[in-house]
Amino acid sequence: MKKLAPSILAADFSNLSQQLRYIEIGGADVVHCDIMDGKFVPNITFGTVVVKAVSKTTKLPIDVHLMIENPDNFIEDFVKAGASYISVHQEEVVHLHRTIARIKELGAKAGVVINPATPVSTLSDILEFVDFVLVMSVNPGFGGQKFIPSTLNKIKQLAKIRKEKELSFEIEIDGGVTSENIKDILNAGCDMFVAGSSVFAQDNISAATTELKNLIS
């Protein structure tokens, strides 16, 4: 099943529980939480306190995207806060195999993220160990940016490797996903679609969720 993962980065935090209700009604599968520390990326968002509040409010699984330095120090805290999926950046983590193993050991699905300038080839020796690969289709740090079309190629490459090596990791895309480009992303081989502005910045959040969900179903 293809999954739609609205990113709460674009949500109205003064009414988060209602916003989560809207995406549930619309048919969202996962809630994407963007954790930024102002160091790995030039922006600061939120941490475990908010993830805990989200997990109290919704039954949807929570996907925590760690855009922080030294993510190893926080993995356990995010699992305790309710994360079902945790992803770390290839560009930040030195002992990636160990970090992926640790996430799994704690009971969450483990993912690796690559920035737009990071090639798929850097993942060749970790792919057999991960549950998912997150392809950034914008430079991480902010919502509302424009999709970088060349990242579609990375999804195709990953889908090809997955088939050839008989692996089973899921492929996730994050950044600039809209109702205009989501079909192309689907056709490239993507399984999980993060969407911030194209869900939460719309007048009718439930309808926007349903529209995107229908396009990938």
Nearest to 131 by CA among 176, 174, 98, 172: 172
Q: Choose from Zn ion, ligand DX5, none: what does 118 bind? Cβ within 5-8 Å by kind.
A: none
Q: Which residue is nearest to ligand DX5 (CB)?
A: 196
Q: Report the nearest approach of ligand DX5 to the CB of residue 166 (Å).
A: 30
In the set 4, 9, 31, 208, which binds ligand DX5 (CB under 6 A)? 9
Does the annotation mark 29 as catalytic? no
Torsions phi, psi for 214 (to 5 deg): -65, -35
CA distances from 121 to 45, 77, 158 (A): 30, 31, 9
Side-chain-side CA neighbours of 150 within 13 Å: the count stands at 7
Q: Choose from ligand DX5, Zn ion, none: what does 177 bind? Cβ within 5-8 Å by kind.
A: ligand DX5
Q: Which residue has the tokens 């009718």?
A: 204
Residue of 34, 63, 131, 191 marked catalytic = 34
What character string, x for contact with Zn ion (CB under 5 A) and - otherwise, covers 184-213?
------------------------------
DSSP codes joined into one string, 78-130: HHHHTEEEEEEETTT-SSHHHHHHHHHHTTSEEEEEE-TTS-GGGGTTTGGG-
Residue 102 lies near Zn ion (rule: CB under 5 A): no
Residue of 29, 63, 131, 174 marked catalytic = 174
Residue 196 lies near ligand DX5 (rule: CB under 6 A): yes
CA distances from 97 to 29, 124, 141, 180 (A): 28, 12, 25, 36
Say which residues have a Cβ less than 8 Å from residue 98's Cβ, sequence separation at least 6: none
- As a whole number of angstroms, the longest Cα–Cα distance in the chain is 47
In the set 177, 190, 208, 212, which binds ligand DX5 (CB under 6 A)? 177
Q: Which residue has the tokens 């193993």?
A: 101
Q: Which one of the spans 19-27, 29-37, 55-63, 149-157 is the region binding Zn ion (CB under 5 A)?
A: 29-37
Say which residues have a Cβ less than 8 Å from residue 167's Cβ, sequence separation at least 6: 127, 128, 161
Q: Applying CB under 6 A, what is the total number of residues that bind ligand DX5?
A: 22
Residue 144 lies near ligand DX5 (rule: CB under 6 A): yes
Within 64-93, the residues that bind ligand DX5 by CB under 6 A are 65
Residue 48 lies near ligand DX5 (rule: CB under 6 A): no
Does the annotation mark 174 as catalytic? yes
Side-chain-side CA neighbours of 130 within 13 Å: the count stands at 26
* Site for ligand DX5, rule CB under 6 A: 7, 9-10, 32, 34, 65, 138, 140-145, 174-177, 194-198
Catalytic residues: 34, 174
* Site for Zn ion, rule CB under 5 A: 34, 65, 174
